[in-house]
Structure 1
Amino acid sequence: MVYVSERKSARGVYVYERKNTRGEVTSHQVKWRLAGEWQTEKFEGTDAQGAQLFADAVRENGGRWPAGWVRGEGFISVPPEMRFAAYALRRLELRTGIEERYRAAAIKELRRYILPTFGECDIRSSEHFNSDTIAAWVLKMQRTKVRRGREMRPMSPKTVRNLHGLLASILGDAVRAEPPLRERNPCALTRLPRADDHGIEEQDEDMTFCTPQEVEAIIGRLTRPADRHLAVVAYGTGLRWGEISALAVRHVLDLDGAKPRVQVARAWKRHPDATYYLGAPKSKASRRFVRISPSVVRAFRDAGVSPDRPASDLIFTNDHGERLPHSSFYERWRKAVKEAQEAGELASHKAPTPHDLRHSHAAALISAGHGLPYVQRRLGHESIDTTNRVYGHLLPEADDDAMATVESVLAGRRPVLRAVG
């Protein structure tokens, strides 16, 4: 079948005739964009009038699916409060224990990626929500292109998994409702894409690992002393940007002691209106104490940390003593990266961001033989699975150690154990 005829029935809403090889009209398709994504509905046979009426309804509804219309089924009779869109939005609005920024982001993604398919469905229906309909939606998400930098690329497996998790959490609420609205959650049956389903690890394109020499070359080209101090702290601790920029003088402990350390007790957060506030770190595991080396101690001293300075003062700030925006530091960082590349001290294919100092910190620890559990605690990962997924591939020596252990056992010798922490 091919498209052979097109009519614009309304602003941005199109009706296509589809014909077979004999030129006979076999169906009509209505097509329009919603939140940047193409939406389609098919009308079998010669029902041009039905397609036209539906297109008009889309236009009258502001380019959204008409209320009560389920894709592929038409209008259905569902109590308004049982429609998935109404139920999901209500559950997200009432959800406790989450930050407002997360709530706003979840509602935004719900509207853009989930409601166009399931918005008018009955939350109680096993026909609307089952393993097949969920799988079809996941496939659609995998084929959806999103902007990454200057390019449009297929949605990453991680994003698909996050969206599926959002849908699963809402259907889970319906299962746990009193009385229950559903017997089970069909999302539990979905086989989700893995990070390497496209042949490469998702992190490969998102992370850059720099050697200590490359880090030194970049830091040496930062012209502002405060920027150099910050970069040394970032590489020496592995803290996230929001954690570093939220450090106050009181969070740097025992500078003159045998075991100086940094307390990670807060981080900069962003309200839905894009304003910032100091809140809890990313997770419970992110609340931590991080030991620091002599070079990091010197960086803190040079940055003005001393007993005479007010304990509540931010250590790294803008020129007015306020929160240091990532964007302003990033511009100066990018200039230093370019100069290091031009000097031949940084590989031309590497374009590290300030966050890559955290990744490079982890790489340095792992290359020195420190185990993933130690790296997990130091970086503040909630789960060892996260640490393994992101950094596990940096352990090539693990195979050598494993083979030596196996061979020792097979040869009747006692395996030699080494300290890794």
Structure 2
Amino acid sequence: MPPRWRPHAEFNLVSMARPSEVTAIQIRDFDKRNGDVRINKAGKHVGGEMKLGKPKSSRGIRTVTVPLETLERFDLDRPGEELLVHTSNDTPISAGYFYAKAWVPGIRRLRALADGNLEPFGPNAQWKRADPDYLLERFADAIASMRHKRLTPYTLRHTGISWKLQVGVPLLVVSRDAGHKSVNTTDARYGHNDRRASAAAAQVIANRLPRARAAMLRAPSTSPRPPNQQDIDDGLVLPRCRIGHLLEFHEIRCAGGIDSSAALTLRQRACAASISL
């Protein structure tokens, strides 16, 4: 992709904004201190001209945070009414314009690399960036994987959403930042990327297991104190287990007795503990 378009493409990726929303972002929409970007408009074609209108839905009005490193690639010291990205004539860059001027040349070079055709990287093509042999060696797997995929500027948005889910960002947060009408939309389209979040949740439970086992399964002393009602409520009543024998329970003695629901709770917890043994 030509250097001029790279900050534009990077912003699409990290903000997860729709191409029409990026078209409408103005300098005043940024907080340069923390990377917050207010998305509350979208570019729309009206009478053959690009106009700024409302986003796709009410959830499309949102504030997202992008890396400060990305913002440093733009000149944000301009008047607030100016567009973040614009043509040389200061007119909005439509999704179609970005596709034709930035995206298509990049896709052509990608496919040329996959086919071993280095002509788009020769002197006649005025290629002045990374050596194509280096690109083939460094990104061989990615080039082969993307060769036959349908790639559009919208792919940048999809990739940003998928990356966040893959590193464990909660689905609700990603859905909100993406401006989806409902979290169900995010789950239906990208839920398969959320496995790492599920793994992290499982690890939280795993981290608690040693303490739970210590409380539930420690060996009783030679003269165990009879459990009381508070022990039952706290889940600290301990089953006495012997390998190869049925689980036996300590006798419960309380001055006021234990009602049937408390006894059932004790039995359920003791049985659960026996499974761990």
Shift of the 409–335 alpha-carbon distance from structure 1 to 2, 3 Å rule, reads same
Shift of the 333–294 alpha-carbon distance from structure 1 to 2, 3 Å rule, reads same
Q: 2:30 aligns with which of 238, 252, 272?
A: 252
Match of 1:13 in 2: none
Question: What are the equivalent positions in structure 2 for 1:19-418 lying under 5 Å apart?
Answer: 222-225=1-4, 227-253=5-31, 255=32, 257=33, 259-271=34-46, 273-300=47-74, 304-306=75-77, 309-331=78-100, 332-343=102-113, 344=136, 345=139, 346=143, 347=145, 348-397=147-196, 400=199, 413=212
Q: Quick one: which amino acid aligns to residue 173 of structure 2?
A: Y
Q: Deviations over 1:358-395 (max 9, x none)?
A: 11001111111101001011111121111111110112
Separation in structure 2 between the aligned mates of residue 391 and residue 265 of structure 1, nearest angstrom: 24
Matched-pair identity in %: 25
More helix by share: 2
Tell whether the 8 Å contact from 2:13 to 2:159 is kept in structure 1 after alignment: yes
Shift of the 298–408 alpha-carbon distance from structure 1 to 2, 3 Å rule, reads closer
Shift of 1:313: 1.1
Shift of 1:413: 4.0
Separation in structure 1 between the aligned mates of residue 199 and residue 29 of structure 2, nearest angstrom: 41
Q: How much is the aligned-residue C-alpha RMSD, in angstroms?
A: 2.6
Aligned to 1:290, the other structure's residue is in SS state strand
Match of 1:134 in 2: none
5+ unaligned residues in a row in structure 1: which ranges? 1-221, 415-421
Q: So what's the TM-score if we normalise by structure 1?
A: 0.40
Q: Quick one: which amino acid aligns to residue 278 of structure 1?
A: L
Tell whether the 8 Å contact from 1:262 to 1:291 is kept in structure 2 after alignment: yes
Tell whether the 8 Å contact from 2:27 to 2:83 is kept in structure 1 after alignment: yes
Match of 1:101 in 2: none
Q: Deviations over 1:211-240 (max 9, x none)?
A: xxxxxxxxxxx2142x11111111111111
Tell whether the 8 Å contact from 1:245 to 1:324 is kept in structure 2 after alignment: yes
Tell whether the 8 Å contact from 1:363 to 1:394 is kept in structure 2 after alignment: yes
Separation in structure 2 between the aligned mates of residue 401 and residue 305 of structure 1, nearest angstrom: 38
Shift of the 342–402 alpha-carbon distance from structure 1 to 2, 3 Å rule, reads same
Aligned to 1:315, the other structure's residue is in SS state coil
Separation in structure 2 between the aligned mates of residue 377 and residue 319 of structure 1, nearest angstrom: 33
Aligned to 1:278, the other structure's residue is in SS state strand
Shift of 1:401: 5.4
Shift of the 341–413 alpha-carbon distance from structure 1 to 2, 3 Å rule, reads farther
Q: Deviations over 1:225-274 (max 9, x none)?
A: 2x111111111111111110111111112x1x2x2211112111233x55
Tell whether the 8 Å contact from 2:169 to 2:197 is kept in structure 1 after alignment: no
More strand by share: 1
Tell whether the 8 Å contact from 1:318 to 1:325 is kept in structure 2 after alignment: no
Q: Quick one: which amino acid aligns to residue 94 of structure 2?
A: P
Tell whether the 8 Å contact from 2:18 to 2:154 is kept in structure 1 after alignment: yes
Separation in structure 1 between the aligned mates of residue 67 and residue 26 of structure 2, nearest angstrom: 18
For the pair shown, the structure with the greater C-alpha radius of gyration is: 2
Shift of the 326–400 alpha-carbon distance from structure 1 to 2, 3 Å rule, reads closer
Shift of 1:292: 1.6
Shift of the 281–406 alpha-carbon distance from structure 1 to 2, 3 Å rule, reads same
Shift of the 246–394 alpha-carbon distance from structure 1 to 2, 3 Å rule, reads same
Q: So what's the TM-score if we normalise by structure 2?
A: 0.59
Q: Quick one: which amino acid aligns to residue 279 of structure 1?
A: G
